[in-house]
Chains A and B, each alone.
Chain A
Amino acid sequence: MPGMNSGLSANDPTVVAAFRAALLHQGLIALLIFAVLSIAWVAVRGRSAGIARPASGYAEPAGRQVLRIGFGLLWLLDGLLQAQPDMAVGLPSQVIEPTAASSPPWVQHLVNWAGTTWSYHPIQAGAATVWIQAGIGIWLLAAPRGTLSRLGGLASVGWGLVVWVFGESFGGIFAPGLTWLMGAPGAAAVYCVAGALLALPERYWRTPRLGRVLLAGYGLFLAGMAVLQAWPGRGFWQGRPGTLTGMIAAMSQTSQPRFIASLVSGFESVASHAGFAVNLVAVIMLAATGLAFLSGRHAIVRPALIAFIALCLADWVLIEDFGFFGGLGTDPNSMIPMALLAWSGYLALTPVPAGAGAPEPSAAQPSAQGATEEPAVAGARPEAGWRGRLGPSALRRSLSAASFGSMVALGSIGVIVLGAAPMATAQATPDASTILADAINGPAVPLDIPAPAFTLTSQHGRPVSLASLRGKVILLTFLDPVCVTDCPLIAQELRQAGQLLGADARRVELVAIDVNPLYYETAYTQAFDRQEGLADVPDWLYLTSSPARLRQLYKAYGVPAETLPAGAMLGHSDIAFVVDKSGQIRETLDMDPGPGTPATQSSFATELAQAATQYLSAS
């Protein structure tokens, strides 16, 4: 897929170091957020000793509690997994792209957009996912009830959808080979369902109806999955080389502890020899569990739930291979969320006894506790209008009445913003981060030496000297007009740099000198310009001269041109010089374009444009 792959190694040391530094930096800010909120909370509570605190003894419905804590922990774990060093570069190319590869083109197109966005800003994107997921996890864990808790559920739905669509390619539901055993319809889809349930008003959790509806829906889903699993011609009934054994074999290749790999390989062997039996067991278990859930009867659901959880755990270990090994595992896959959802549905079948917990504030009796919406507090006076609700005194009262959990939940929202804001800012610019260029070639080397003078011929046949360009910043490089690899990429980077400069471009000259002394005629520099779409770029010069004069210039700039035998292109170094307005070389940039992906090209262009801008502003 074009664009998605930055082309860098997932464990590129420069990117990994930058990712770690960003996480550390943002982690300290996250701690600061919590510290400030805690101090404010303690201070306000100390000064508001007279205000009554919420009554304790609230009991959250068990089904909801299982969902909230379970998925809170899962989001937290997912956030931690996103902090693995390989994630910043590896996620788009080694997780998202392979996942989307078997999906229809429209899915690939959509996913490619997101993957490209990520690959342009790997540090910001990688860190954003860490803090957003960790933040949602903390939010769910810290806010057991009220509006804040329900909003946490909505946040889970929103981010879950992002992950499901872009990270999991809609959970692979549009790709062939869909099977519950390998995680269909995607773990993030289950996160979304759980989030939606948590976002429901608590009154829905107090009657068995929610549990029945949830289990009925779940039962239908499992029955459907059983039919898909049993459908002839999909390759699940055969052993080797069947669909299931192929999937297990692929999972067993993941880098992981040896005993787990041998466990998975062992099951692959079983599945290859007894594929029919394994699939039969899966089909029967799914169908039976589905029907049992559909019944909605405690006595039937309970044993089915136990069997289903056992099936989930077995699948998690033996087929999904835990899901989080190998350095690029993003979550523990779908079986734990599936089991949690079923467990929650079962618990929700039991009505919450009357008097367990305070009733949720109704619309007719609005709560006076602002956003945190804690249980009713004696002594709190509602303020009229939004000005009053947001006034200092109202906020102080809200803060003093809020529980510690609510404060932590508020802090977690800050953590989410902390991750999302840099990514959103990065997205506002079309150019890629310079970290990619730095990862390929290292940073620019500062210099302050006079640029060797020259008088050459432009692609239009006009003489051009270095002196004639005085007053402009020059981005100068050496390009071979018949080059098949690097030079066209470097030319595109220069062209993009010119575009990034915008109005400043007229004060910058993009200059290339022909580095091939055999193909030195203007017919070749012109052909190169046409090839690269540079013919109409106003501040672009492709300069050439006689072979002898060109060779002198190569020597003066330290750019050797070496003839290589047997059909190889001319060997020369990829380098750019940043020449300031007074003709001094101020920087050299190693321009080896590396993988030459859109992301790395954009990164080099950004680096060039930034260098030019720096010396435009200098006197």
Chain B
Amino acid sequence: MTARWRVAAIVGGAAVLAAGCGSTPARTPTQTAAPAAAMVSLSLSTSAAAADGTWAAIPMGGTGPNLFWQLLRLPAAGGRWSLRTPPDIATNGALILAPQDGTGRDARTLITGIRPSLYLSYSPVTTTADGGTAWSTLPPDPSLADVPDSLAAAPDGHLIALGPGPRAAQRISVLRPGGSGWTTLAGPPPGSRACDPTALTAVAYDQDGTPLLGGNCAQPGVAGIFAYAAGTWQLAGPAWPASYGRQRIQVLRLTRTGATDTALVEAGTGHAASLVAAWTGDNGQHWTLSPALRLAGARPVSASVGDGGTIAVTLSGDRGETLDRSGTSWQPLPALPDGRAVTLAPLAAGTTDALVADGSTLTVWRHAAGSAGWARAQAIQVPIQYGSSS
């Protein structure tokens, strides 16, 4: 090899080495900026009280296309839970419950929205007036948001729906009784000095049929609860004590049972976060705030609102808490039974049912007020059609 070649070889070698070093895998960038406070996202697994009984939506089966949401009903007169899942539609995407909870015949009506899943990108809506024996359909919604209160029914039969997406794109639409299609009610509330909404999380009606909207405000110490009046959204939530003035408040649930509108919010973030409930029986004129439930690092998993605004919450770590509207204090439940999905259903007289799904088996555990543990009340074998959505 000549000297010229040796020089070329050395230069070339250096280039190869540099290229080789450059091709080693890059390290994952370390996160230097503090993450933004994560938005709390409750499971859609919940129960809802209606005049003729209690309904529960529970994920069962496997995962992905083998996860099928089931609808169960416990009659108001008591008795046993029974499977009432709407037929002829795949429920892989979850069921959103909206009891009409009005008066007279409509009090018996439950409307369910089916969230999109797999290739289905819109939300069919179905309704029953006989406790889930017979079902008929309502016009489909373009797409229901992934929150438990994305669909609500007014006593007069109007429906309101919340669409998914970032706040600016979230659609709020309504379906009038007998209507042939959903129409947009209004855009999201505009930002203001009082509340600049960062996300919309719930829709509801008050007992007069006024649309309500729940969301999160950028400003601390403000709950994003709005009422639709005179063609605009106006802040209608409770005034929060000064002690919450520096805390970020997220509306987790906003729903109506009978004459009571109930809101459940998370105040603060991280280890200092707490849950607070708020009730109004006069269309937001006056709100009652509950004591705070310190989460101490626990995470709210699902929340159900029972008759009269009783709240039952499952928390991470197999914890459960209930709170009735008297609002004196949160009552811890015994450690929740084991299972893949646990949904609480607050019932009358301080009784709470825990519906525990494990594959195709649903076990109902009952906790009577004052008792020390859960009693196995019922087991239901659900004939899940594994593979039918694959």
Contact = CB atoms under 8 A, between A and B. Distances in A.
A binds B: yes
Interface of A: 173-174, 176-178, 212-213, 216-217, 219-221, 223-225, 227-228, 231, 233-234, 294-296, 482-485, 487-489, 516-519, 521, 523-524, 527, 530-531, 563-571
B388 A296 contact: no
B20 A228 contact: yes
A60 B388 CA distance: 67
B21 interface: yes
Contacts of B93: 484
A178 B121 CA distance: 42
B61 to A, nearest CB: 8
Contacts of B118: 484-485
A239 B91 CA distance: 48
A483 B90 contact: yes
Interface in B100-127: 114, 117-122, 124, 126
Counting from the closest, the 4 A-B pairs by CB-CB distance are A176-B25, A567-B91, A224-B16, A568-B385
B124 A519 contact: yes
Contacts of B388: 564, 568-569, 571
Most chain A beta carbons < 10 A, residue from B21, B88, B117, B126:
B88
Contacts of A531: 120-122
Interface of B: 1, 5-6, 9, 12-13, 16-17, 19-21, 23-25, 60, 65, 68-70, 83, 85, 87-93, 114, 117-122, 124, 126, 135-137, 139-140, 180-181, 382-385, 388-390
A484 B389 contact: yes
Contacts of B89: 482, 516, 518-519, 567, 569-570
Nearest to A568: B385
B121 A216 contact: no
B66 to A, nearest CB: 10
B180 A523 contact: yes
B119 A227 contact: no
Contacts of A568: 68, 90, 384-385, 388-389
A567 B120 contact: no
Given A173-B23, A227-B17, A527-B140, A566 B1 contact: no
A314 to B, nearest CB: 23
Nearest to B181: A523
Contact of B124 (A213, A219, A524): A524
23 contacts: A178-B20, A220-B13, A221-B16, A227-B20, A234-B25, A294-B9, A518-B87, A519-B89, A521-B137, A523-B139, A524-B140, A531-B122, A563-B88, A566-B60, A566-B83, A566-B382, A567-B85, A567-B384, A568-B389, A569-B89, A569-B90, A570-B89, A571-B388
A220 B12 contact: yes
Contact of B137 (A220, A224, A225, A524): A524
Contacts of A483: 90, 119-120
A565 B17 CA distance: 64
Contacts of A216: 1, 5, 9
Contacts of A487: 119
Contacts of A296: 1, 5
Contact of B70 (A489, A566, A569): A566
Contacts of B19: 224
B17 A224 contact: yes
A176 B120 CA distance: 38
A565 B85 contact: yes
Nearest to A531: B121
B13 A224 contact: yes
A174 B139 contact: no
A485 B139 CA distance: 21
Most chain B beta carbons < 10 A, residue from A212, A483, A485, A521:
A485
A223 B13 contact: yes
Contacts of B389: 484-485, 568-569
B88 A519 contact: yes
Contact of A566 (B24, B120, B140, B383): B383
Given A220-B13, A519-B124, A531-B121, A567 B90 contact: yes
A569 B6 CA distance: 73
A98 B114 CA distance: 37
Contact of A482 (B5, B69, B124, B384): B124
A480 to B, nearest CB: 8
A571 B60 CA distance: 20
A176 B90 contact: no
A485 to B, nearest CB: 6
A221 B119 CA distance: 50
A57 to B, nearest CB: 33
Given A227-B17, A518-B88, A568-B388, 8 more contacts: A223-B17, A228-B24, A484-B118, A485-B65, A518-B87, A521-B137, A565-B83, A571-B388
Given A220-B12, A571-B388, A563 B87 contact: yes
A523 B382 CA distance: 31
A212 B1 contact: yes
Given A567-B69, A567-B85, A569-B89, A488 B120 contact: yes
Nearest to A174: B23
A295 to B, nearest CB: 7
Contacts of A228: 20-21, 23-24
A234 B6 CA distance: 30
Contacts of B390: 485
A76 B13 CA distance: 34
Contacts of A227: 17, 20-21
Contacts of B139: 521, 523
